[in-house]
Amino acid sequence: QAAAARQFSELGYPGTTLRAIAAEAGVNTRLVTHYFGSKQELFLTVVELPFDPEQVFDRLIADGADDLGRRLASFVIGVLNSHVGRQTITGLLRAAASEEEAAVMLRALLVERMLTPIARRLGGEDPELRASLLGSQIAGLTFARHIVGLPRLVEASPEQPADALAP
């Protein structure tokens, strides 16, 4: 796992191969796939979110509902603008888009580590739906700006999408 975590972190998802992970760990590639399955499954096993959702949500929500959307949007964009954050989030999306088992694992990660904690803190009517919609905005923004590279989103300053997403 340590070899996989290091390579995914340093090389990103596309630059990491099961063969290279196995070589670094001093084992056969078949042994890696036996214990971890596909590259996508291994990625989801070793990936760590670039922030602690519980702490971040507590801090963001502590200042009250006024301007909460702006604070959340700014935080997300800040994570995506960091090298590690962008690699982690785009890697998760690519893995989930390319393999159903990875998508199942990603859903579990998102529900347990992000959506449920924020839904608990949001309260109000149907917080699970609202938290899931927040997740869809993060995935959509990440995909459009950092994977597809929509020109207007790529060239926008961090403040522009944060202002537009804030409401």
**CA-wise closest residue to 32 among 47, 12, 48, 17:** 17
pLDDT, average across residues 26-54 = 89
Residue of higher predicted confidence among 53 and 17 = 17
pLDDT, average across residues 74-98 = 87
Tokens at residue 115, please?
Answer: 């959506």
Query: What does pLDDT average to over the chain?
Result: 87
Residue of higher predicted confidence among 106 and 75 = 75
Is residue 150 over pLDDT 90?
A: yes
Global confidence as pTM: 0.78
pLDDT band at 126 (very low <50, low <70, confident <90, very high): confident
Q: Given this model, what pLDDT does residue 26 score?
A: 96
* Contact predicate 105/36, CB 8 Å: no
Is residue 20 over pLDDT 80?
A: yes
Is residue 12 over pLDDT 80?
A: no
Q: Given this model, what pLDDT does residue 1 score?
A: 87
* Contact predicate 158/77, CB 8 Å: yes
Q: Given this model, what pLDDT does residue 163 score?
A: 93
* Contact predicate 141/76, CB 8 Å: yes
